[in-house]
Amino acid sequence: MKTALLFISCMTFMFVLLGQFGVWQDFKDRAEVVHNFESSALNLAKENRELRAHLSQLKSQVQSLEAHKNYLSLKVKNRQRKVASLAVVDPDDLVQYGIYNWGPSKLLSIGNKELFNKNYIKSAQFYHELFKRFPKYEKINDKVIFEAGMAAFESKKYYHWAEDHFSYLIEKHPKSSFYRGAKLWRGLSYLYQGKTGKFKLTVEEFRKKYRNTDEWKIISRYYDDINKKVQ
């Protein structure tokens, strides 16, 4: 009987121990899970802080780059203003090509329009700029050259341009209907530049070749003055 009771007591104690061991293992497993979770959470929190710090750094860099970009943009604009102000050095330069960068069609159009409006100085400048920058422009013909010469002559300022334009027309377009007119106005350009010898040769040429022309009627008005200046 005692042996049986002892056996039962031992078995009961073992079951209790096993039960406690199972509960202990369960708590241990749970503790490990919690520990792993807390460790993961800490790692995630650390990574989150690092990402926020990196994001803040990137935002700061973006702001810095934006400020530098605005500075460079302002610097470029100021430089452009300075260049533009330096380009307008001559108040008599009505073309201002360095600022407006005119194309050949625009130069021709303005030259023609200002000639029609009798703004001869401006017209002469635009024609001159056209020939200087675009000498092979397809719309430059004998009529355009003659008009450029007349604008320069009538400006009373650019007689040397007038001489150049008329000489070019005479050389390049000997069959032009403006040929004789170019000779006349080139001769008068000589006169206003004080080139009396060349002017006299032009008068003699008209006296011999074109005596019955309108051009002779014009140049003959200067005849008395020619004799006074040449003699």
Express each pLDDT in 115-145 by its tens digit.
Answer: 999 999 999 999 999 999 999 999 999 999 9
Same-domain check for residues 55 and 107: no
What pTM was estimated for this model as a whole? 0.60
Pick from 49-53, 78-82, 114-118, 158-162: least confident: 78-82
* Domain total of the chain: 2
Residue 23 above 60 pLDDT?
Answer: no
Same-domain check for residues 115 and 224: yes
- DSSP secondary structure string for all residues of 158-188: -HHHHHHHHHHHHHH-TT-TTHHHHHHHHHH
Domain housing 186: 97-230
How far is CA 49 from each of CA 52, 54, 57, 230, rounded to the nearest angstrom? 5, 9, 12, 100
Q: Is residue 92 part of a domain?
A: no
How far is CA 206 from each of CA 125, 157, 216, 220, rounded to the nearest angstrom? 30, 26, 6, 9
Same-domain check for residues 50 and 163: no
How far is it, in rounded angstroms, from Cα 192 to Cα 199?
9
Q: What is the pLDDT of residue 17?
A: 47
pLDDT in tens, 145-199: 999 999 999 999 999 999 999 999 999 999 999 999 999 999 999 999 999 899 9
Q: What is the pLDDT of residue 25?
A: 55
Phi and psi at 52, nearest 5°, equal -65, -40
